[in-house]
Amino acid sequence: MQTPSSSRRRCAAGGLAAILAAALLLACQKKSPEEDLLHKVEPVGSWLASLQMAGEKWAANSLPSSFLRASLSAARKEFEKADEESAKSRARPEVTVPLRRLLAEAKAAGAGLERGVEAGDRAAVARQARQLAGLRARFETLQNAGKGP
């Protein structure tokens, strides 16, 4: 038994997929290298916020150290990926240079967080969390500046 509607359904599916693919192509084409890069590194902001929250919560005794370590390694991967993206991007240096400086600082802050956790130093971890908050604010400014014009 063949369902008579199946071929028609496949056509409709193909049509819609084609429209979506075309939309995707258009969306990609109109992006400048700067916008493209900033879009790709977007998760960095969310990760900075996560690390900040994790630091604060660890300092308040709400999270185990192992969780912090796991989060840090996941975040570090994201930072490194973003760094690679900006190294190979054709975006203007006005965007890439501050971005890469920020990423380096983020990695340093992550390392500081880890040292604090290993040492069991709550004050140091809380300090690093504040540092991360500052980085996140800078990252957001960067994102907004890139999107603005």
Partner 1 sequence: MKKWLQLALGILTAVGGFFDMGAMATSAQAGANYRFQLLWAVAAATLIVIFLVEMSGRFAAVTKKALPDAIREHLGFTFWIVPFLVLTLSTYLVLATEIGGVCFALHLVTGLPTPLMALPVAVLAWLFLWRSTFSTIENSTSLLGLITLAFVVAAFHHRPPAGEVLRGFVPSLPGEDPLKYWAIAVSIVGAVLSPYLFYFYSSGAVEDRWDRSYVGVNRGIAALGMSFGSAVAMGGIVVAAMVLAPRGIQVDDYHQAAMMLTDAFPFWGFLLFAVSMGIACLGATLEVALAMAYSIAQTLGWNWGENLDPREDARFSSVYTGALLLASLPILFGVDPLKLTVLAMASEAAVLPFVALPFVLLMNDRKLLKEHANGWISNTVAVVVLLVSLVLTVVSIPLAFLGGGG
Figure out which of the listed residues 32, 63, 76, 100 binds partner 1, where binding follows CB under 8 A.
Answer: 63
Chain center to CA of 11:
38
1 binds partner 1 (CB under 8 A): yes
* 8 Å CB contact between 128 and 112: yes
CB-count burial class (<10 Å; 0-12, 13-18, 19+) for 45: middle
Count of all residues that appear for the chain in the document: 149
- Alpha-carbon distance of 98 to 93, in angstroms, equals 8
Residue of 37, 54, 113, 125 that binds partner 1 (CB under 8 A): 54
Contacting partner 1 (CB under 8 A), which of 8, 11, 20, 118?
20
Q: Is 11 in the site for partner 1 (CB under 8 A)?
A: no
Helices 33-40, 93-119: crossing angle, 10 deg rounding: 10
Residue 114 lies near partner 1 (rule: CB under 8 A): no
Give the residue carrying structure tokens 């971890």: 125
* Contact status: 45 vs partner 1 (CB under 8 A): yes
| The one among 22, 25, 74, 104 contacting partner 1 by CB under 8 A | 74
Q: Which stretch binds partner 1 (CB under 8 A): 29-37, 71-79, 105-113, 118-126?
A: 71-79
Cβ distance to partner 1 smaller for residue 42 or 94: 42
φ, ψ of residue 19 in degrees (nearest 5)? -60, -45
Give the binding site for partner 1 (CB under 8 A): 1, 3, 9, 12-13, 16-17, 20-21, 24, 43, 45-47, 49-50, 52-54, 57, 60-67, 69-71, 74, 78, 136, 140
